Structure 1
């Protein structure tokens, strides 16, 4: 279970790697459950335009209208992105109280990709297309092969940021209080050349569903939920490297 990850640094990586502005709200470099982190989603209809970086809108003409193909067919509208600051750990919309939300969210920092359509915690967000991308530099897992937990930092070999597939949710309490939250989608890693080493011995191995850079827009814009499933797969082991760290 990935309960700890490293957020983007420096802040210029947000527009460079994901085409969105860096967050105005301070975000911890080491992120843990119930702390505020950043996720990226399709631009909400009522979101202020100032939240979108100029580079976030791909394929848009100077006039901001969709381009027309040579055959006379209007191309699909460009995908606009927004960065959102939310709580790490999903709060399902059916939760009754803020105290219940506080208890449940640490258990929902990860979401099994295989059960998104059957889990009461995930089904509504998945079917509503509330997919997101969670930017990170690395995530951490415990290496328990020696019998002692050795925290290990796992990152891309080239040092570039990773975009992990996630789901987001908006919870509103009876008093109007609101919690925006997100979770990381995970996939089976039992046969993964790197990730099979980590987590509890004898238990199923899991890893975050790291997206290919070229698939960011397609993941967010996939029309049918089953089409979105195609993006949830194990990231190649030779594109990752793992280094033990002294402390979490």
Structure 2
């Protein structure tokens, strides 16, 4: 399971790659449970919701003698993206108090693609279309093949950011009335993934974040609920790079053991 990811380092990158503009960089570069960063959500602009391109039902063939059916076309909707500050760690509607919300959210960093529509914690948000994009520079997994858990950083080969699929929640504290926004990263099965099948606990199912294609962001945010799962596919292994994270205590001072 992914329990850590890395935020973008430069403020301009949010706008350049995701077309949103946070007021300031999230305070946390290395994201872990209940730390505050945020997500991107989107709404279809009303003027573009039902716009069709003017295409005749039939049109003449090139020789001018035969009519053939024309392809029906529809204009892509205009989507307004919004950056929303929020904590990583989903607060489900069942949380009864701030303490309950804290305990639950720590365990709800990810949602499984296969059960997000039926799991009690995530069902309402999924059916309400509360999907989002989580920008990240990299995510972290443990390599346990040697018997010791070695944190490993997974990033794009070209160094560009990634947008992971997510689901978000707005929960109101019954005591204070304060609304708390939170999110979880959607994950997919990675047992057959050429890279990600190497990582995770021995004997357990391999999982990875559902990384979205860059050209699908707006469609993912606004598509009908029954079509949403079509966007969650395995990211190509050859587009990803895995690097073990060096631990300072594992370093040997130069010269002492040469």
Please, what TM-score do these two structures have when normalized by structure 2?
A: 0.83
1:77, CA displacement in angstroms?
A: 4.5
Match of 2:182 in 1: 181
Match of 1:198 in 2: 199
Alignment partners' CA distance in 1, 2:26 and 2:159: 23
Alignment partners' CA distance in 2, 1:84 and 1:247: 33
1:16, CA displacement in angstroms?
A: 0.2
- Residues 54-93 of structure 1 show CA distances to partners (whole Å, capped at 9, x for unaligned) of xxx8xxxxxx954773449984651101001100010012
Aligned length: 229
Match of 1:53 in 2: none
- Aligned pairs for 1:82-231 (under 5 A) are 82-174=82-174, 175-223=176-224, 225-231=225-231
User: Which ranges in structure 1 are unaligned for 5 or more consecutive residues?
Assistant: 45-56, 58-63
Judged with a 3 Å threshold, the aligned counterparts in structure 2 of structure 1 residues 68 and 117 are, in CA distance, closer, same or farther, namely closer
- Aligned pairs for 1:54-65 (under 5 A) are none
Whether contact under 8 Å (2:210, 2:232) holds in the other structure is: yes
Please, what TM-score do these two structures have when normalized by structure 1?
A: 0.87
User: Which ranges in structure 2 are unaligned for 5 or more consecutive residues?
Assistant: 57-72, 249-258
Alignment partners' CA distance in 1, 2:41 and 2:129: 10
Larger radius of gyration: 2
Alignment partners' CA distance in 2, 1:88 and 1:212: 22
Whether contact under 8 Å (2:154, 2:241) holds in the other structure is: yes
Match of 2:34 in 1: 34
Whether contact under 8 Å (2:135, 2:164) holds in the other structure is: yes
Judged with a 3 Å threshold, the aligned counterparts in structure 2 of structure 1 residues 209 and 76 are, in CA distance, closer, same or farther, namely closer
Partner secondary structure for residue 168 of structure 2: strand
- Residues 152-201 of structure 1 show CA distances to partners (whole Å, capped at 9, x for unaligned) of 00001111100000000000011202210000000000111100111101
**What is the alpha-carbon root mean square deviation over aligned residues?**
2.1
1:78 and 2:62 are equivalent in the alignment: no
**Greater Cα offset, 16-25 or 32-41:** 16-25
